[in-house]
Amino acid sequence: MQAFDGIRVLDFTHVFAGPFATSQLALMGAEVIKIESPHEPDMMRCDGADEKRNEIGLGLNYLANNQGKKAICLDLGQSEGREIARQLIATADVLVQNYTHGLDRHELGPAQALKINPALIYCSMSGFGSDNPFSGRPAYDAVIQAFSGMMSVNGEPTQEKLRVGPPLIDYGTGAQTAFAIASALYQRSRTGKGQVIDVNMLDAALVMMTPLVLDAIHCGKTGERTGNAQTHHPGHSVYACSDDAIMVGAYTLRQHRSLFDALDLGDLMLDPDQQNYAWLRDNGEKLRQRIQQCLKTETADYWEEYLNSRHVPAARIRDMYEMLQQEQLQRASASQHQRLGDNSLTAPIAAFHYATDGPEFNDYCARHGGDTAEVLGELGISVKQLETLRNSGVI
């Protein structure tokens, strides 16, 4: 039995953050019903590198976060659509929504929903939260990267402010949301009461930058960007090798000493009382030059193998596709890559394993509104009523 077997989730979310959160619940056994407008499906249905899949509304960027969910169409702008939503809320354990202005305008906000179902876990996701002047602003990952200051701490000092490539804030927000919902479900198992949860992307971004946030508050300014080099920790930097580049990850004093020993830099093996963090900081640039002189003599693959054998964290900087084609195959039995629907591709689904009944993809992925008749039929809506609702654009 998976952790969320028997849990029903109403998923009023789109793009990445919300669908990723609910997909994590689906992986652990929850029944997730994705609810989209009949007229405006999730934009990710038509997004991804496979154009043929985009044309049928099952784009790769949609598939990754929505596989295993049921999908229905419901026009909340019509009274009949809102009434069906209320009936679904009465059957649900969790409701997740990330509309810019929430569901209150449809009379389906947290107060109304918990009046229908007092045991409901109601989770709202937004860009900026609901208690500040920025509430209600639309947001995407890159917008929050700019607003939160993440772009101001990324990249080299001479570069323009730089966006992080992958949608880290979307996925970080989704992970925070999934954890909040799981915690609320556990809380409900003890109290019998529902819960209202607010999650916002800005706070998620700040949580992801906690060390830098604390330093900025303490110093009264944003720290200087260091790019791939850290002069305060010279062993924790990117270095050029004879053929490629390597990320050396020595951070602690002990790891720096291991690095100096591995590179045969015996003259740097000072008395431990002298070799402190202040010494690393004050001599950072000189130490970087010495390390660089050594590393450029061999290949990145050589240094990766050698340094790790000496307990110094290090990795050649890989091209992502190269890693997926080579190294990923070596750890496939331990990884959480599973097949995407009717596709030969596999996708990463979770970063954890259970000994039994862990995360598992249901390889079904619904077309837009593909499960409307089934789900609404369970509410007692007849075939004739479904046809009437379909003709009026409610479903």
Q: Which residues are catalytic?
A: 170
Q: Which residues contact 378 (CB under 8 A, 6 or more apart)?
A: none
CA–CA gap between residue 20 and residue 38 (Å, rounded): 22
Distance, C-alpha 245 to centroid of its chain: 27
CA distances for 268 relative to 99, 194, 263, 286, angstroms? 57, 60, 10, 11
- Sign of the CA dihedral running 43, 45, 49, 52: negative
In angstroms, what CA-CA distances link 168 with 2, 108, 332, 335?
Answer: 27, 30, 24, 20
User: Could you tell me the two tokens for 162?
Assistant: 């730089």
126 token code pair: 């937004």
* Helix/strand/coil for 55: helix
DSSP calls for 279-304? HHHHTHHHHHHHHHHHHTTS-HHHHH
Dist. CA 359–CA 128, nearest whole Å? 30
Are 290 and 269 in contact, with CB atoms under 8 Å apart?
A: no
